[in-house]
Amino acid sequence: MDYRSLPKALLHDHLDGGVRVDTILELADRFGYTGLPSGTTEGLTEWFDQGRSGSLERYLEAFTHTVAVMRDQDSIRRIAYEAGMDLAADGVVYAEIRFGPSLHMIHGMTREAAIEAVLDGLSAAHRETGIVLYGIVSALRHETDSVEVVRAAIPYLDRGLIAFDLAGPEAGFPADDHLPACRLAREAGLGLTIHAGEADSAASIWRAVARCGATRVGHGVRIADETDFDGERITTLESLARRIRDHRIPLEVSITSNLDTSAFPSVREHPFGALYRSGFNVTINTDNRLMSRVGVSDEYRLASETFDLGPADLAEITVNAIEAGFGDWPTRRRIIDELVRPAYASVASNQEAISEST
Ligand SMILES: [Zn+2]
């Protein structure tokens, strides 16, 4: 399968985790930022590629360097534009990109200025390539400004900003500490997705869904702990897992990112394939393209080759992802009907023709 040319969807991708290395170098030069661990494309690419180091410190340090060059509206607009262009070149047709508008306040920017710059960059990439892009604002669970983040986001609801997310350290920082922000977001009409069940237990997923009202979950892979997943398949489900499956809660799974943070020892032991086959609404995501050195095509390939997923499976996963999106429904419907279904059906019929002729 030519994964790059297949139309793909992306629900979980952090803007500051997907900056081009050359852009970081150029902007660092422009802003006089001298903190980069390397001054060359190769050196910096190597450094950002966290591999399976499992070092959270180094992982977090990586974001300090990308945020350090997101200092003004021009740099943020450029980074958002390039993210959209890179995704379009990788065959992504629908993407929701998340970012933390508060992160740029250390450079004297307002949250609103950061939001405007991201949305400007995304719409420029849309105009140039046709890729459908939306923004999601993230607040950090260990900070106390989640309500302010939602307030800043609300005026941009019909201008490309569609949802609110809680990110940051999961263990010890329960999502329901941010109930007021979650409620405000939902009442204003923002979609709600929460990172849960990545580093903490499956109970954290239920807290995000049942208490905070998240209709989507970032990662959510620890739900496998509430099943009898034996490393290959799932036969019985505890009630919590059953609810997540039966309510069709979309899980924004990022396989490579999970391996990088050592959530699972090897890709074979990752529950993505088992969850999919048991009927969970799993989607394929990159999380941080720079730190995990992956594109969406790479993740599709990894899922497909590891868990033996054919074009019909990838079509279903892609359709599920677009249906789980928060953007304009007629647009998403059109993408599903005119781009996604025909492309995967044609790959499937080509494969059939090849297997019949051999
Ligand atoms: Zn994430």
Look at 85-94, 99-108, 165-174, 181-190 and tell me which has the smallest mean pLDDT: 165-174
Q: Are strands 191-196 and 216-219 parallel, antiparallel or unpaired?
A: parallel
- Residue labelled with tokens 């399968």: 1
End-to-end CA distance of the chain: 17
pLDDT in tens, 74-84: 999 999 999 99
Q: What is the pLDDT of residue 241?
A: 95
- In the annotation, is 198 catalytic? yes
Give me the catalytic one of 82, 96, 116, 198. Answer: 198
Whether residue 199 is predicted with pLDDT greater than 90 in this model: the reply is no
Going from the Cα of 196 to the center of ligand 1, the distance in angstroms, rounded, reads 9
pLDDT in tens, 48-69: 986 656 666 777 789 999 999 9
Going from the Cα of 97 to the center of ligand 1, the distance in angstroms, rounded, reads 10
Going from the Cα of 195 to the center of ligand 1, the distance in angstroms, rounded, reads 6
Cβ(318)–Cβ(340) under 8 Å?
yes
**Which residues make beta-bridge pairs with 167?**
140
Whether residue 33 is predicted with pLDDT greater than 80 in this model: the reply is yes
Q: Average pLDDT for residues 15-21, to the nearest whole number?
A: 98
Going from the Cα of 348 to the center of ligand 1, the distance in angstroms, rounded, reads 32
In this prediction the pTM is: 0.96
Question: Residue 6 phi/psi, 5° resolution?
Answer: -75, 140
Q: What is the pLDDT of residue 263?
A: 79
**Which residues make beta-bridge pairs with 133?**
95
Q: What is the pLDDT of residue 50?
A: 66
Going from the Cα of 131 to the center of ligand 1, the distance in angstroms, rounded, reads 21
Element containing residue 9 per DSSP (H, E): strand 8-10
Whether residue 264 is predicted with pLDDT greater than 90 in this model: the reply is no
Sequential DSSP letters for 261-324: TTSSSSGGG-SHHHHHHTT--EEE--B-TTTTT--HHHHHHHHHHHHT--HHHHHHHHHHHHHH
Q: What is the pLDDT of residue 170?
A: 86
Going from the Cα of 95 to the center of ligand 1, the distance in angstroms, rounded, reads 14
Q: What is the pLDDT of residue 351?
A: 87
Q: What is the chain's alpha carbon radius of gyration, rounded to the nearest angstrom?
A: 19
- Domain locations along the chain: 8-357
Q: Class assignment of domain 8-357?
A: alpha beta
